[in-house]
Amino acid sequence: KPKLPSRVYVRALRTAFLPATHCSNFCPIPQLETVYSVMGLTLLNIGIPRFLLLLLSIHVHHAMSSNEYLKSRCSVDAKYSDGDEFEVNMDSVFSTLKNEAPSIGFLNTTKGQGPEEVYGLVQCRGDVGEEECGTCITRSTIEIVQYCPNTKDAIIWLEKCQLRYSNTNFFGLLNLNDSYPWYWYNSTVEFPEAFYRDLGSLLENLTSAATTEPSRLMFARNATEYTDRQTLYGLVQCTRDASLADCKECLETAISQINSSCGGSQGCELLKGSCRVRFDTNIFYSTTDTTSQSPFPTTSPSPPPSSTPQNSSPPPIGTANTLS
């Protein structure tokens, strides 16, 4: 029986060759066995080199089209009972978010009064269109209850949207406490000095664009070439109830934690209650303008490095001496 590949590779194979089924992390062993049988037939039919190219192209497509569950946080202090007034108000908030948010990509709303009042906020990623945004919001309203049953304060992040509801008013408040890293790859960065230098510069430029140009709605994405054969993609976004100053603080805080949170990975997302930062060596966002966001920004790519691969630890991200 062949040796199982790495966890990340298993996920890529499962996505590439199996029918679309929901697996919150990794599919069970019977599906992996199906992967191997299909992979064997594919290798026989098209040969190993073409198979590897096919796998790479499918992996890139998956990175752009997937909408993985990333993380959720559930309050352990405040609870509601099935059928009580809080749950009725929560369902009403969810209905409003599903109906009214997709066309603009963001909404916060309330329902009820006193201790049974529910505050809800949802936001889609800035490159997501209306239909995809609506699908993500609907899914988030279902899954947040599954992951956080009967709790009065919870937040959930999917790749393309996030949702929070609470029994207290959190609108407009900077939220750095809800904070989680999520990374896709365990690959060693080939040129760490160039990678982290260009990553720092890219994220600094994106932060500036998102927090100094109100028309961007605190969202920016772009790419830079850091070798002659590899591109680095980045995206930053804040929830639209945040002020520009709070947005800047949230993004800079997230960026400063890349070194300690992303494990030297080539692809990582820092999730916070008020913002998100993501980078990757595979394109993961759409460059098509949405009705609720500004045009795709452009910057000049950095020159490729001429040095050989290094094994040194990555330099700090987000500090003055690493950002050009």
Residues 37 and 17 in one domain: yes
Listed residues 104, 138, 171: the one ending a domain: 171
Rg of the chain, C-alpha, whole Å: 21
For residue 64, what pLDDT is reported?
A: 53
> In angstroms, rounded to a whole number, what is the distance separating the alpha carbons of residues 296 and 321?
28
Q: Which two tokens stand for residue 50?
A: 């073409």
Residues 185 and 166 in one domain: no
**In one letter, which amino acid is 97?**
L
For residue 185, what pLDDT is reported?
A: 62
pLDDT tens, the chain, 324 aa long: 333 333 333 233 233 322 333 333 333 323 333 333 333 433 344 454 454 444 444 344 445 557 899 999 999 999 999 999 999 999 999 999 999 999 999 999 999 999 999 999 999 999 999 999 999 999 999 999 999 999 999 999 999 999 999 999 999 999 999 999 998 766 767 788 889 999 999 999 999 999 998 889 999 999 999 888 889 999 999 999 999 999 999 999 999 999 999 988 899 999 999 999 999 999 999 988 664 543 333 333 333 333 333 333 343 443 322 232
Stated as kind and residue range, the H or E segment containing 56 is: helix 48-65
Report yes or no on 133 lying in a domain: yes
Written as one string, the DSSP assignment of 70-88 is EEEEE-SS-B--TTSHHHH
For residue 92, what pLDDT is reported?
A: 98
Start-to-end CA span in the chain (Å)? 50
For residue 215, what pLDDT is reported?
A: 87
For residue 5, what pLDDT is reported?
A: 35
Please answer whether residues 271 and 238 qualify as being in contact, where contact means their C-beta atoms are separated by less than 8 angstroms.
no
Listed residues 144, 171, 198: the one ending a domain: 171
Report yes or no on 113 lying in a domain: yes
> In angstroms, rounded to a whole number, what is the distance separating the alpha carbons of residues 172 and 246?
9
Residues 185 and 234 in one domain: yes
For residue 46, what pLDDT is reported?
A: 46
Nearest to residue 251, comparing CAs of 233, 223, 275?
275
Please answer whether residues 276 and 270 qualify as being in contact, where contact means their C-beta atoms are separated by less than 8 angstroms.
yes
Residues 127 and 27 in one domain: no
Report yes or no on 224 lying in a domain: yes
**C-alpha to C-alpha distances, 240 to 94, 111, 266, 275, nearest whole angstrom:** 18, 20, 28, 9
Residues 101 and 230 in one domain: no
Residues 75 and 60 in one domain: no
Report yes or no on 2 lying in a domain: no
CATH classification at residue 108: 3.30.430.20
Residues 252 and 292 in one domain: yes
Report yes or no on 148 lying in a domain: yes
Neighbours of 103 (CB within 10 A): 12
Residues 140 and 186 in one domain: no
**In one letter, which amino acid is 238?**
C
Residues 321 and 237 in one domain: yes
Listed residues 171, 197, 228: the one ending a domain: 171
The pTM of the whole model exceeds 0.75:
no
For residue 186, what pLDDT is reported?
A: 61
Residues 300 and 219 in one domain: yes
What SS3 state is found at 313? Answer: coil
Query: Whose structure tokens read 């309330």?
Result: 110
Q: Report the domain count for the chain.
A: 3
Domain of 16 in residue numbering reads as 7-65
Residues 199 and 311 in one domain: yes
Report yes or no on 1 lying in a domain: no
Residues 128 and 256 in one domain: no
Please answer whether residues 262 and 181 qualify as being in contact, where contact means their C-beta atoms are separated by less than 8 angstroms.
yes
Please answer whether residues 226 and 266 qualify as being in contact, where contact means their C-beta atoms are separated by less than 8 angstroms.
no
